[in-house]
Structure 1
């Protein structure tokens, strides 16, 4: 049953990429009798309906950010398999990647390890009219680096002295900082890891580090509690997303995000497609057959 639910959720993810490209009325998409739907189908219908509505609001937010030159940084933190990537995907899905982009930094290289800890994140910060979503962030030091002993006690303590001041500097410079922690239960993470193990399409998501993090669940819990306590500041507070239910977590997070930014709908000029210029001497040359991809399907 659990694997079935995960496969169903995966199919919904693919469906989200295609829906509403040619359909403007959600009811046109599912024209069956609502009264005849079971609770599972009704729940999926409600989910899609709300998701598309919220994504429409994100498009309005994007236009406002561009017009006003607002700058936004959104941090997504949480345990492995907590659903951070899923909500990030839904946020950026219909937005302009030149306006809203994702920063997912790999482990620091030898040179970066000798830099000021926050230095490699600075180059990814937004300019005016941009939104940057960090899929994990400088809080790696308070989480994985602490639990896996990749940093010293001195580096760990220095992080807690520096992080609040770093974020205050960002806010003073005009960057809005929003921080989300995705919270899942011990049992839910266990089931999601099992699902990934048994799904060939998702096995790549499990790294040796992920498996080790599963073993150190309690150490991560302690590190998370300390992190929230020591870096929850008025200029950039933490917000906790209850994420055992993936779809509810996505909707709740996007809805909350929209309320954090005072955007208004921005009017856009009407667009008219100009007629194509045609020249009498223009002849389109045929494509050489050897260049054409075989039409197997």
Structure 2
């Protein structure tokens, strides 16, 4: 492949040399992609620090939802977004199965309890939208509970936004083939095997069921005040960059 002077300079940088020597088989094209991704990521992460400082100073509340199938890359995106911002002013929420008391509450109550205070950001690694896809697909809620949720969620989100809160809803979209590949990679890795659960295995079998509920969710809860942002996530690096760029574009912080 031909290399431009700018690309040669990238390869000779500290980051470039580290990337080159980290691989047994040198692939210049792949290495350049990785360098450009890392440089762009660092640039965007610096902007996220500015955004958080603005939110703290102006007592803004920010809620960002990450939805998508298992292994879609939601957690990896959240880790890159939060890598350099102040941990005292953000929280990652990934709720477990509701307790017996929570099962008797209004469905949204336990999510209300996790919403941010002024100056804080909350990232939901899966959110109240569990009831729109995961729960009905696995039979964890009744048809009536599902219908009630779908009839209330748009108004619930409108109330959140009317309380001086920014709300961003991401859906990370991957193909069935890519999900299968990622599951296989997880199962082969001694370091990642713990991530695989019986529910993940079941999700593979329920792909088409998930798809049906997902399509209804994206159509019926894509409101004017809280639209869905679809992130094409087959390539993790591109998905992370796209998500951060959207956050920075949507929230009017001081640039």
- Given candidates 6, 15, 26, the residue that maps to 1:29 is 15
Pairs within 5 Å for 1:14-93: 27-30=13-16, 38-93=28-83
Q: What is the CA–CA distance in structure 2 between the aligned matches of 1:76 and 1:190, rounded to whole Å?
A: 20
- Given candidates 170, 195, 203, the residue that maps to 1:205 is 195
Shift of the 152–37 alpha-carbon distance from structure 1 to 2, 3 Å rule, reads closer
Partner of 1:110: 100
Partner of 1:96: 86
Deviation sequence 1:106-162 (CA, Å, 0-9, x none): 111111111110001111101111110000000000111010011111100000111
Q: What is the CA–CA distance in structure 2 between the aligned matches of 1:37 and 1:144, rounded to whole Å?
A: 40
Deviation sequence 1:150-208 (CA, Å, 0-9, x none): 11111000001110010011111111111000000010001001101111111111100
**TM-fit CA distance, 1:28:** 3.9
Structure ranking higher in helix proportion:
2
Contact between 1:83 and 1:243, CA under 8 Å: does it hold in 2?
yes
Partner of 1:270: none
Partner of 1:154: 144
Pairs within 5 Å for 1:142-221: 142-221=132-211
**TM-fit CA distance, 1:37:** 6.8
Unaligned runs of at least 5 residues, structure 1: 1-25, 266-297
Aligned pair count reads: 239
Q: Give the secondary-structure state (helix, strand or coil) at the position aligned to 1:102.
A: strand
Unaligned runs of at least 5 residues, structure 2: 1-11, 21-25
With normalisation by structure 2, the TM-score equals: 0.90
With normalisation by structure 1, the TM-score equals: 0.78
Partner of 1:225: 215
Q: What is the CA–CA distance in structure 2 between the aligned matches of 1:30 and 1:152, rounded to whole Å?
A: 54
**Which contiguous aligned blocks of 4+ residues in structure 1 show a shift greater than 3 angstroms?**
26-32
Partner of 1:279: none
Q: What is the CA–CA distance in structure 1 between the aligned matches of 2:235 and 2:27, rounded to whole Å?
A: 21
